[in-house]
Amino acid sequence: MSTYAPIQRLGKDAAVPVAVYGARANRLARLRALGLPVPLAYAVSVPAVQGIAAGHMPDITSLLAKFGGRGIVSVRSSPIEREWGGPQTLLNVGLNDDIHAKLCRRLGEHDATLLYCRFVLEYSVHVARLDSESFDGIRNDGSPAALAAALAVYEAEMDEAFPQDPADQLGHVLRSMARAWEGTTARILRQARGAPTDAGLGLIVQRMALGLGGGESGAGFVQFVKPSTGEATIRGRYLSKSQGMEAKQPGRQADFITIDKRGRSLEEASPDALADLQKFAAIARLGCHDTLKFEFTIESGKTWLLDAAPADRSPRAAVRIAVDLAEDGAISRKTALLRVEPENLQQLLHPQVDPDAPAEIFARGLRASPGAACGRIVFSATAAQSSAAQDEPCILVRHETSPEDIRGMHSAKGVLTERGGMTSHAAVIARGLGLPCVVGASGITLNPKRKTMTTSDGRVFNEGDIITVDGTNGIAMVGEVAMMRPELDGAFATLMAWAAEFCDIGIRANADTPADARSARSFGVEGIGLCRTEHMFFQEDRLTVMREMIFADDADDRRAALDRLLPMQRSDFAELFEIMHGLPVCIRLFDPPLHEFLPHSREAMQELADAMALPVSQVIARAEGLREFNPMLGLRGVRLGLSVPEIYEMQARAIFEATVLASRNGKPVVPEIMIPLVSAAREVDLVKNHIDAVAAAVLNESGRKFTYRLGTMVETPRAALRAGDLALNSAFLSFGTNDLTQMTYGLSRDDAGRFMSTYVNQQVFPEDPFHTLDRDGVGELLHIASERARAARPDIVLSVCGEHGGDPESIAFCRSEGLDYVSCSPFRVPIARLAAAQDAVRGTNKATEDLVVK
């Protein structure tokens, strides 16, 4: 940095790197270089500003001399990243009695005095740091009395007259801004926005364009795209005879930019000015490779661009803008991909309430998690699960949620809670799940026992009533309100096509149901990476048979129950195969512990006992007998598969029979079967023997040949370490990074909520390892496993399923490990694909990043 001047003129032929002078200085330099009418400006470098804060003032007099002695300038902050904020812009620096007198002549006394008085007030409060209350009695009406009063207060408080030397003023302004940047509040605020502890600030000193005076004069702001959609349109305001952002101030009757029936417009006042702005914007768009928003001033008919920044844009607009820029040749496709934050796609993918639809709001609360959903009210997690099992959308309504509700939240379409804040359990979890959620809803009272929700005006909702929850706006509405379906074609589709072009890792979806599978196909996945079969057993009719199996006395009885589940499973799989149309479908064999299928409450056990004509004591005893201290580490997965082999045999048969069926109707299907919770190679060997036998039997019965691929889910640290052994009988390994993270950390995800935020805040964990894959621990196990598996079987297919498969940072890690594919929930597929494409683009073309206008 030392080779850069402490004070640098902005313009053509001047190197104004962002890292030295900040983003704004760089941007203004570009605009000047493009020949746009940006008033003369000089940047003070980050090291120079640090020097100023430490007491080393550069030569201010010669700096002011560069502006030709007229001496009125503005000072703006130029942090390295725009998001970090910075001290407030100060206008009219250099105004003193002398210049005031001149301005009186030029602008008239009222306007000149208004300006001077405003400057005195701002300088007093923001630079001299006087208490603003000291000036409370003064109303700046442009009168000499108001000015005199302001100057008098200044003198009384400071024990000296208001500074008359412009250099003196500017020196104080620079020092004040440099020091404000170092202040505790500013530091905390910018660190909250991701700034490093040594975040640097540059400053810009710019000739004032007054916005006052003869001819059309005034100031405003404008951008040429619609922030919500990114369509080309003109948005902004203009205020005649004003400066800076006065047009934005409430109470000021600012004009529209274009002709508008609601009021006056710049277009009417000065069509030339508008034409200039449009011309300038088009030049800037191509030259700066982005659509900008501008702060502009018209001084006696001449239009000046004082400041510029990337135009405001919603996530949806960001997609459109990036695609339009690329299609207009302003940026490359690679750069377009980098312009969209993958995580933000989520807002495009979720439905939103149609703002024009009629709706009866019955509760308002916090906007805990965006998106909208409607469904039947359920008051318990269990009810949510059984509702989901019947494919009946539901909204979980609770006083507040707790870890026990997590599975219910997974099953619900939306969440509404009576209590809780933005960091309550419900809010945190819902955001994690991408589930619309309103918390702390005022005006409702729940009675979960009676299963009612009562509003403050006495309206009573019962379980099963339909409501709509709008997490984007923090409201809950009666009945089903019209939604805007997410718009997944147009620019989005184009961007996704480009992402697919550069994405060099496979993307599959986790899909358990036909609906999931269809949704996955609509996002163009390369297959299903994880089909969890257990959800299939929670549907009412199947649950009963499942329970009969659990209560069976011996293998024969168990098999009889399973025989009744077989046709249902077969049609489940056949349907998935048909939807996926020849794309690979990876089916995980039954995984959960059996006790998940038994009721928990005494009442429900009594019901079950009645239904099965068993003494309730037997039901209780069975439930007790199956109860586990740590179900995650208990009798489930392959352990259950080997202890009760009939289950896997039934599932294998269902898969193979469905394979035969689907292959008859369409492309040949090669099912992938995955064994869960393996910790020793012999588990794979034994299951393989069972499944091979079933395959042989089905082949024999059907007379049709088919093949299948057997793989292992790597979820235990031991499986990762022994991946070389596992690979011998596994065509593929899929890392179940949810469980692998839980076991590597010794940390139950369901129970971690109680301390995870403390841990992340205290930086014990840099991030929640369930959101972003822990490279240092879990990542090392993945690395070891991949190496060993490939050494044992070079053609082995390696993948990650589980929620990390949809997380951009984790996907980058998977790419670096050379995994074949990631699998994530269908709605994260676009996010995953874009993230992978970005990672690939960054790897091949570092330079493209520079094209991002900051």
- Binder among 19, 283, 361, 633 for a copy of itself (CB under 8 A): 633
- Binder among 327, 328, 404, 501 for a copy of itself (CB under 8 A): 404
Q: Which residue's CB is nearer to a copy of itself, number 465 or number 759? A: 759
761 binds a copy of itself (CB under 8 A): no
- What's the min distance (Å) between Cβ of 627 and a copy of itself? 8
Of 425, 535, 595, 804, the catalytic one is: 425
552 binds a copy of itself (CB under 8 A): no
Binding mask 316-335 for a copy of itself (x = CB under 8 A): --------------------
632 binds a copy of itself (CB under 8 A): yes
Stretch that binds a copy of itself, among 273-281, 483-491, 624-632, 667-675 (CB under 8 A): 624-632
DSSP per position, 152-178: HHHHHHHTSPPP--HHHHHHHHHHHHH
Binding mask 446-475 for a copy of itself (x = CB under 8 A): ------------------------------
Residues with Cβ within 8 Å of residue 251, at least 6 apart in sequence: none
Backbone φ and ψ for 233, nearest 5 degrees, come out as: -165, 165
Stretch that binds a copy of itself, among 242-250, 355-363, 378-386, 674-682 (CB under 8 A): 674-682
Helices 808-816, 829-844: axis angle to 10 degrees equals 50
715 binds a copy of itself (CB under 8 A): yes
Stretch that binds a copy of itself, among 362-370, 561-569, 777-785, 819-827 (CB under 8 A): 777-785
603 binds a copy of itself (CB under 8 A): no
CA 466 – CA 443 distance, rounded (Å): 18
CA 59 – CA 718 distance, rounded (Å): 67
Q: Which residue's CB is nearer to a copy of itself, number 185 or number 761? A: 761
Stretch that binds a copy of itself, among 79-87, 88-96, 380-388, 745-753 (CB under 8 A): 745-753
* 801 is an active site residue: yes
- Binder among 403, 448, 514, 582 for a copy of itself (CB under 8 A): 403
Work out the number of other CB atoms within 10 angstroms of the CB of residue 308: 25
233-272 residues labelled b (16+ CB within 10 A) or e (exposed): ebbbbbbbbbbbbbbbeeeeebbbbeeeeeeebbbeebee
DSSP per position, 35-48: T--PPPEEEEPHHH
CA 363 – CA 440 distance, rounded (Å): 10
Q: Which of residues 778-807 bind a copy of itself (CB under 8 A)?
A: 778, 780-781
- Binder among 635, 670, 697, 792 for a copy of itself (CB under 8 A): 635
CA 556 – CA 549 distance, rounded (Å): 10
Q: Which residue's CB is nearer to a copy of itself, number 3 or number 758? A: 758
- Binder among 124, 352, 387, 716 for a copy of itself (CB under 8 A): 716
- Residue 298 CA, chain-centre distance (Å), reads 39
Q: How far is CA 783 from CA 720, 723, 768, 815, in A?
A: 9, 10, 20, 12
Stretch that binds a copy of itself, among 112-120, 331-339, 503-511, 776-784 (CB under 8 A): 776-784
- What's the min distance (Å) between Cβ of 762 and a copy of itself? 7
Of 288, 394, 503, 801, the catalytic one is: 801
- Binder among 192, 630, 700, 794 for a copy of itself (CB under 8 A): 630
**Sequence-ordered strand ranges (E) for 677-725:** 709-714
Q: Going by DSSP bridges, is the β-strand pair 41-44/7-9 parallel, antiparallel, or unpaired? A: antiparallel
Q: Which of residues 59-98 bind a copy of itself (CB under 8 A)?
A: none
Side by side, which strands form the sheet with 201-207? 7-9, 41-44, 201-207, 73-79, 90-93
- Binder among 463, 470, 683, 807 for a copy of itself (CB under 8 A): 683
CA 227 – CA 128 distance, rounded (Å): 38
- What's the min distance (Å) between Cβ of 754 and a copy of itself? 5
**For a copy of itself, how many residues bind (rule: CB under 8 A)?**
54
Q: From its phi and psi, is residue 772 left (phi > 0), alpha (psi between -120 and 50) or beta?
A: beta
Q: How far is CA 32 from CA 12, 217, 281, in A?
A: 7, 22, 13
Q: Going by DSSP bridges, is the β-strand pair 41-44/797-801 parallel, antiparallel, or unpaired? A: unpaired
3-class DSSP state for residue 365? strand
- What's the min distance (Å) between Cβ of 534 and a copy of itself? 16
| Residues lying near a copy of itself in the complex (CB under 8 A) | 402-404, 624-625, 627-635, 639, 642-643, 677, 679-680, 682-683, 686, 715-718, 721-722, 739, 742-748, 750-752, 754-755, 758-759, 762-765, 774, 776-778, 780-781
Enzyme catalytic residues = 425, 801
